[in-house]
Amino acid sequence: MRRMLPGLMVLALLVLPTLVSAQALPAVTVTGNGEGGQTYSLSLQVLLAMTAITLLPAMLLTMTSFTRIVIVLGLLRHALGTGQTPSNQILVGLALFLTLFVMAPVLQTIYDDAVTPYLDGSLPAEEAVSVGVTPLRAFMLDQTRTSSLNTFADLAGQPEGYASREDVPFPVLLAAFVTSELTTAFQIGFMLFIPFVVIDLVVASVLMSMGMMMLSPMLISLPFKIMLFVLVDGWALVMGSLAGTFYQ
């Protein structure tokens, strides 16, 4: 985990390239006011760094596999019909650590190629950011649908698309990536709903044929859905299959 966190910090530098400069500035500047007093001012570099830290959760949501994973887990909970079980905190925790598992190769590449040389002083900050962006862009491009990319390229004034992957601007890539992740997540959620809907239909038909129309079908089908999910080792199957969708 310690080795991955610097890679996440490189993500913060992506949206604020002005954070890095050839000459480091002092964090706090002290100037005299001409009356024997002093005035303290915060450097712009530190202010941008603090802003980048606040933007880090949003980057985690939109630039990694977190979006697809948390949506699929939420749809799975609705398909089971278990209400708020597992709770939102548990689902977010599962999504977070599965995201770290999926993004581990990308973060490791960022750490080895950008963070470590920068900390050793062998790579300038601006070049380290440029090197760190490359594996992240490759991951996002691999998961982005061509239709989504073409849509946002058209909105950006490039109706004929881009000549190569390197020519895609990062704002266009980010918008297309998030849209693609939402589409993929809902497609996976639809497939997860099918077996549980079949169970609901069977239970409802049996109750109606027995004349038990006043008994809620959801109340009867819930134990069967939970039993089926446990018998097939559903959590391991869903988590493994979900992580596998990023390596196809």
> According to the per-residue pLDDT averaged within each range, which of 61-65, 66-70, 200-204 is highest?
66-70
Q: How far apart are CA 62 and CA 20, in angstroms?
A: 23
pLDDT interval class at 72 (50, 70, 90): very high
Please say if the pLDDT value at position 163 is more than 80. no
Other CB atoms within 10 Å distance of the CB of residue 41: 10
| 224 residue type, one letter | F
Better pLDDT: 213 or 33: 213
Alpha-carbon distance of 126 to 13, in angstroms, equals 10
Examine the pLDDT at 29 and tell me if it is beyond 60: no
Per-domain boundaries in the chain: 58-244
Residue with the larger pLDDT of the pair 91 and 160: 91
| Region for residue 43 given its phi and psi (left: phi exceeds 0; alpha: psi -120 to 50; beta: otherwise) | beta
Region 181-201: mean pLDDT is: 89
| Separation CA 229–CA 238 (nearest Å) | 10
Closest CA to 80 of 207, 236, 235: 235
Q: Which of 62-71, 120-129, 220-229 is predicted with the least confidence, judged by mean pLDDT?
A: 120-129
Residues 72/238, Cβ–Cβ less than 8 Å: yes
Q: What DSSP state is assigned to residue 160?
A: T
pLDDT at 129 over 70: yes
Q: What is the pLDDT of residue 48?
A: 65
pTM of the model as a whole: 0.75
Say which residue, 162 or 179, is predicted with more confidence. 179
What's residue 4's pLDDT? 45
DSSP letter (8 states) at residue 32: E
Distances (CA, A) of 207 to 151, 220, 228: 48, 9, 19
State the Cα–Cα distance between residues 157 and 175, nearest whole angstrom: 15
- Give CA–CA dist 212/42, Å, rounded: 72
Using pLDDT thresholds of 50, 70 and 90, give the confidence band for residue 222: confident
What confidence score (pLDDT) does residue 186 get?
93
Percent of the chain with pLDDT over 70: 79
8-state DSSP, 64: S
pLDDT higher than threshold 80 for residue 88 = yes
pLDDT of 188 > 70? The answer is yes
